[in-house]
């Protein structure tokens, strides 16, 4: 009988595992895939995420954070206009290939038992829990991501035609900014990124960029199609050299966050998926993973029943994390307006830099 089983080794699952292991819990972390692996993500690591990562990772692993390219500006390319804004304190750009594997290793070093290539098909009972007749635990955190077999809509009614695409390319001397190109039916982000795990020469890693898009399936389904949707992006991409095979993910579904399923605590995207455009997904995953683990402490110390512990997590999730989801959907609507309404709005932003600064603060 484990104290805690965590399903999924993204930032939510590993942050929960690290937090619980530090507090002395006996933890099992189950992951469907194998780490390291590439993942569809803009790889924009917000200043807030950097602070959280510094507190979760041992000093030896923070090299990854210190050596990552700093992103000190945002450039929003909307139609033929460019809105510029500083990002202060700067964010970082860290390949998920490195980030997720570093967190996984940190959990292992703290005594978390890890099982890669283990897909959880179902969970029995409502505490103590049973998984596949093999593993038993007093508590469970489901951190299996946005659309796993465990949290997909049971009636299949939630449809979405949005998909995510990503690949790394080589570009000579990319600027230290996150560049977001907007077009009808989607947007594409470009930023420099380093990859430390693979044996690249210095030059290649300095010249590596991550290109990641969220797009409606009827607008584009491949990266070349995405790149052709915006004139400046299309020109810029002509000199790129492909470094990784493009990967895709779908569906991208935005639903009201749900931090609980019975007495199972949900963390990260499994609880709620925020528009990637705001660059807060990793930070929300780290925050909710940590919060879920901390909420379980009184239960694991036999001071509170599981049901009350779960209810307390829900309350804290709703007060601390729900507001972030609300502001992001407002900002997203600004950019998905039809062109005829977008143009005067962009003029307004262009003539009022303080407005742009506000927008970027709200999104990045």
Ligand X SMILES: Cc1cc2nc3c(=O)[nH]c(=O)nc-3n(C[C@H](O)[C@H](O)[C@H](O)COP(=O)(O)OP(=O)(O)OC[C@H]3O[C@@H](n4cnc5c(N)ncnc54)[C@H](O)[C@@H]3O)c2cc1C
Q: How far is the CB of 39 from ligand X (least distance, A)?
A: 6
Give residues with Cβ within 8 angstroms of 64, minimum separation 6.
57, 94, 98, 99, 102, 196
Residue 41 in the binding site for ligand X (CB under 6 A): yes
* Residue 338, both tokens: 């039809």
Return the SS3 of 246: coil
**Residue 285 found at the interface with ligand X (CB under 6 A):** yes
Distance CA 149, CA 153 (A): 9
Indicate the residue among 294 and 350 with the shorter CB distance to ligand X.
294
Q: How far is the CB of 44 from ligand X (least distance, A)?
A: 3
Query: Which residues contact residue 163 at a Cβ distance below 8 angstroms, ignoring those fewer than 6 apart?
Result: 214, 215, 216, 217, 221, 248, 249, 250, 251, 252
Part in contact with ligand X (CB under 6 A); list of ranges 82-90, 131-139, 147-155, 221-229: 147-155
Among 33, 116, 185, 262, binds ligand X (CB under 6 A): 33
With a CB cutoff of 8 Å and minimum separation 6, the contacts of 143 are: 6, 7, 8, 9, 10, 12, 13, 16, 266, 267, 268, 270, 285, 289, 292
Return the biggest CA–CA distance within the chain.
63
The residue range among 123-131, 146-154, 258-266, 348-356 that interacts with ligand X, by the rule CB under 6 A, is 146-154
Query: Would you give the end-to-end CA distance of the chain in angstroms?
Result: 41
Q: By CB under 6 A, is residue 9 in contact with ligand X? A: yes
d(CA 269, CA 358): 26
Cβ atoms < 10 Å from Cβ of 165: 23
> By CB under 6 A, what part of segment 47-106 binds ligand X?
none
Q: Is 171 in the site for ligand X (CB under 6 A)?
A: no
Shortest Cβ distance from residue 13 to ligand X (Å)? 6
Binds ligand X (CB under 6 A): choice among 144, 177, 309, 363 = 144
With 0-12 / 13-18 / 19 or more C-beta atoms within 10 angstroms meaning exposed / middle / buried, residue 50 is: buried
* DSSP codes, 51-63: HHHHHHS-GGGTH
Q: Does 279 bind ligand X (CB under 6 A)?
A: yes
In terms of CB distance, is 285 or 306 closer to ligand X?
285
Pick from 4, 107, 143, 291 the residue near ligand X by CB under 6 A.
143
| Strands (DSSP E) found in 250-363 | 260-261, 264-266
> Which span sits near ligand X by CB under 6 A: 39-47, 61-69, 180-188, 216-224?
39-47
* Candidates 139-147, 179-187, 292-300, 346-354; binding stretch for ligand X (CB under 6 A): 139-147
- Read off the DSSP letter of residue 35: S
19 vs 297: CA distance, rounded Å: 10
Residues 13-32 that bind ligand X (CB under 6 A): 13, 30-32
How many residues touch ligand X under the rule CB under 6 A: the total is: 40
Closer residue to ligand X, CB minimum distance, 45 or 306: 45
42 in contact with ligand X (CB under 6 A): yes
Selected range binding ligand X among 3-11, 131-139, 200-208, 237-245, rule: CB under 6 A: 3-11
Residue 280 interacting with ligand X (CB under 6 A) = yes
Nearer of residues 336 and 350 to ligand X, judged by Cβ:
336
Q: Which residues sit at the interface with ligand X, rule CB under 6 A?
A: 7-13, 30-33, 40-44, 119-120, 143-146, 148-150, 164, 212, 214, 249, 252, 268-270, 276, 279-283, 285
């Amino acid at each position: 009988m484990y104290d805690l089983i965590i399903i999924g080794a993204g930032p939510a699952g590993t942050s929960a595992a690290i937090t619980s292991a530090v507090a002395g819990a006996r933890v099992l972390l189950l992951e469907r895939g194998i780490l390291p692996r590439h993942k569809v993500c803009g790889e924009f690591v917000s200043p807030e995420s950097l602070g959280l990562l510094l507190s979760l990772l041992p000093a030896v692993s923070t090299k990854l954070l210190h050596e990552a390219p700093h992103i000190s500006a945002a450039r929003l390319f909307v139609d033929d206009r460019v809105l510029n804004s500083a990002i202060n304190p700067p964010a970082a750009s860290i390949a998920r290939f490195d980030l997720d594997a570093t967190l996984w290793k940190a959990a292992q070093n703290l005594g978390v038992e890890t099982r890669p290539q283990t897909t959880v098909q179902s969970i029995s009972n409502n505490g103590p829990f049973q998984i596949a007749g093999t593993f038993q635990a007093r508590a469970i955190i489901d951190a299996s991501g946005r659309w796993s077999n465990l949290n997909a809509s049971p009636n299949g009614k939630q449809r979405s035609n949005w998909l995510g695409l990503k690949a790394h390319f080589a570009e000579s001397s990319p600027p230290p900014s996150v560049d977001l190109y907007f077009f009808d039916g989607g947007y594409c982000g470009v930023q420099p990124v380093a990859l430390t795990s693979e044996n690249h020469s210095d030059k290649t890693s300095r010249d590596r960029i991550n290109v990641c898009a969220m797009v409606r399936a009827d607008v584009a389904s491949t990266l070349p199609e995405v790149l052709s949707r915006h004139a400046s992006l299309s020109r810029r991409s002509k000199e790129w050299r492909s470094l990784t095979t493009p990967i895709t993910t779908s569906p991208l579904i935005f639903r009201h966050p749900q931090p609980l399923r019975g007495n199972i605590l949900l963390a990260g995207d499994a609880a709620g998926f925020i528009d990637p455009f705001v660059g807060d997904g990793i930070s929300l995953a780290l925050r909710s993973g940590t919060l879920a683990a901390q909420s379980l402490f009184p239960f694991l110390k036999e001071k509170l029943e599981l049901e009350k512990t779960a209810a307390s997590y829900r309350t804290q999730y709703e007060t601390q994390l729900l507001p972030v989801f609300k502001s992001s959907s407002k900002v997203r609507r600004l950019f998905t307006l039809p062109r005829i309404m977008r143009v005067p709005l962009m003029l307004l932003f262009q003539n009022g830099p303080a407005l742009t600064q506000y927008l970027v603060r709200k999104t990045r």
